[in-house]
Structure 1
Amino acid sequence: MICNITLGTALQWNLTGVPVAGDGNIGKNANNLNQPQWLHIDANGSLYICDYSNHRIQLWLPGATNGTTVAGDSACNSGSSSNQLNHPQGIEFDNNGYMYVVDAGNNRVQRYSPNSNNGTTVAGIAGGGGSATNKLNQPSGVAVDAAFNIFITDSGNHRVVKWALNATNGIVLIDGSAGGAASGQLGNPCGILLINGSSNQVYLSDQSKDHIQIWTFGADTANTTWSTANGANLNQPAQIALDPYGNLYVADMKGKRVVVICANSTTGTVILGTDTSSTPTLKQVGGIAFDSNLNLYVSEMTLNQVYKYTRL
């Protein structure tokens, strides 16, 4: 079975997902995952997983049966020390190979130099969240531009903020809280992608508004909004990803599916999960990512595995 979508270029994937990380059991061992969320795949095909409820980032090499902890406590203890995490949710890398992790439970973003398990806080303050410009409140997603500015979906504060590297305070770019220019427009933003490397326009997924939007920083309203796929509303969309052809993919968490919004389209199309014959049956999609061959990887939070859907 294949999924065949004509997007200027025909893209097809095998609809049978092959487990590439996790054994399906909740646990703290190297072969286990516990509610995996965001994913990142580097140029070598190495898979980085936000192992959310194990409070760690796991690196899974191609063909490996075990992961290696590259951030957080390998014993899966949560904490706020430099070598600990508390429910990591988002992940990104900059052009110099530094890793950025949204440490959601600690209300901060941690930056890791290559081959180091000790993070440096580059946004927020460990501990209780807040709305001051030096704080975050339940952050979800992160993006980094070529100048190493850090863009964060500050979900609990209903806003998007930018932190310059080494800054002690962030700048609010989109404010969806009461009284903000975008009041009522932004609920709980989650996924974030800079558009064409731009530092002033982004794609956002919103988990309380159940839609995807394009925002230009400084605008009062979103440029574009998508909220449906195959006639059904999105349901807590999480991580988002782009392919080289400008098509946007959505991990529709509670919708139990992966959706593509084709370039210049006004609605989404389901490619995996609900309304398809894909296997396994998706129950809670936490993250998505592509490798260099456009094979699609999906993290399944309920099944505690990451699956690979091979491009045909």
Structure 2
Amino acid sequence: MSAGCRIFQNLVCFFGYLNLPIFEFNKKRLNIIKNELQKKENNDFILVTIRMPYCLLRVAVSPVDGCIYIADSWNNRIQIFDENGSYIRSIEKIGQTEFHYPYSLHIDKKGRIYVSDQSLVRIKVFDSQFNFVRVIGRYGREIGCYSGLCDISTDKDHNIYVCDSGNHRILKFTENGDFLLQWGSNGSAEGLFKCPACVTVHDEKVIVSDWGNHRVQIFSLDGKFLNIIGKQGTGSGEFKRPLGVAVDEKGNLAIVDEGNNRLQIFRSDFTYHSKISGLKCDFQRPWDVAITKQGGIVVSEYYGHRKYVYTKKK
């Protein structure tokens, strides 16, 4: 792992147990599936590889209690761990609300959980106890509708931002689900998108991974274009299909560079800092990234069914 990851301070491993079994629900019976754990070291950090029996697509950390939420898409459920890595529960069906390939999730500062359901093309909102609250928006190509949900985020006023990959745009709603505005369309000019894949709101800025244009775009909260990070390529600060984006408390960005099988780190002014790649992690299509309350970096991948956790040596 690149020593440049020191930019994220006090890295700790929320899966610090190293031997905790992963739980798999099968016909309402609880079966324990053993983990395959690997450790690779350098002078400063330990990389722990946790091999999962299911496909991990998106991960999120609750700003309220630090719990880790995993979108276990192929098994149509959400898995939850506490901030220390202890398994809490799996959510498969809530009343009459059932998941059909949950793809992305987000937890706001009130503890509300937002889940994008790919098969139903629907955004569901739950309270902190997973009681169903409402559906945000609806499927379509008209103004205020979405087609192909990829990601969700919220700002400090609890407005909701939806990454609409099918219509190549970003939608903004109030916390009650009323449509406010949208921006973007299919294209490669500034402010346009080709299948945007992730939206993250931080410090009055909306950060969007522009997957098909191999770049990350920065906007104001009302959709005004501000900046671009990267371009297509394999060099430092360049991308091949960027996906997940996470921001630490100092504004530093961790961006998944899926096509180049690496994670790139950028400073708060959007300048390149470092990367995590190579034999020390051996990514197989990294997909999403999240940062724990303690500063740990969590990376999920598509092919390897693994979760990587970077933890500082004691």
TM over 0.5: yes
Query: Which residue of structure 2 aligns with residue 39 of structure 1?
Result: 59
Could you tell me which runs of 5 or more consecutive residues in structure 2 were left unpaired when the two chains were aligned. Answer: 34-51
Query: Which residue of structure 2 aligns with residue 191 of structure 1?
Result: 198
Cα 1:22–1:237 change in 2 (3 A) is farther
Query: 2:60 is paired with a residue of what secondary structure?
Result: strand
Cα 1:98–1:14 change in 2 (3 A) is closer
| Preserved contact between residue 21 and residue 306 of structure 1 (Cα < 8 Å) | no
Query: 2:140 is paired with a residue of what secondary structure?
Result: coil
Query: Once the two structures are superposed, what CA deviation does each residue of 1:273-295 show, in whole Å capped at 9, x if it has no partner?
Result: 3xx3323x210212211112211
| Preserved contact between residue 287 and residue 300 of structure 2 (Cα < 8 Å) | yes
1:203 shift after superposition: 0.9
Query: Once the two structures are superposed, what CA deviation does each residue of 1:77-124 show, in whole Å capped at 9, x if it has no partner?
Result: xxxx85212222222122211111122222221101122254631222
TM-score, L = length of structure 2: 0.77
Query: Which residue of structure 2 aligns with residue 94 of structure 1?
Result: 108
Where do 1:218-257 residues align within 5 Å?
218-219=223-224, 221-227=225-231, 230-231=235-236, 233-257=238-262
- The structure 2 residue matched to 1:205, chosen from 184, 204, 209, is 209
1:258 shift after superposition: 1.1
Where do 1:216-295 residues align within 5 Å?
216=220, 217-219=222-224, 221-227=225-231, 230-231=235-236, 233-267=238-272, 269-270=274-275, 272-273=276-277, 276-279=278-281, 281-295=282-296
Which of 150-159 and 81-90 deviates more?
A: 81-90
Are 2:122 and 1:104 equivalent residues in the alignment?
A: no
Query: Which residue of structure 2 aligns with residue 163 of structure 1?
Result: 173
1:46 shift after superposition: 2.2
1:3 shift after superposition: 3.0
CA RMSD in angstroms, aligned pairs only:
3.5
| Preserved contact between residue 22 and residue 304 of structure 1 (Cα < 8 Å) | no
Structure 2: distance between partners of 1:10 and 1:142: 24
- The structure 2 residue matched to 1:123, chosen from 128, 131, 137, is 137
Cα 1:265–1:53 change in 2 (3 A) is same
Give aligned-pair identity as a percent: 20
Letter in 2 for 1:277: L
Structure 1: distance between partners of 2:235 and 2:274: 6
Letter in 1 for 2:80: L
Letter in 2 for 1:146: K
Structure 1: distance between partners of 2:167 and 2:20: 33
TM-score, L = length of structure 1: 0.77
- Number of aligned residue pairs: 286
Where do 1:51-70 residues align within 5 Å?
51-61=72-82, 62-64=84-86, 68-70=89-91
Structure 1: distance between partners of 2:19 and 2:124: 26
Query: 1:156 is paired with a residue of what secondary structure?
Result: coil
Could you tell me which runs of 5 or more consecutive residues in structure 1 were left unpaired when the two chains were aligned. Answer: 75-80
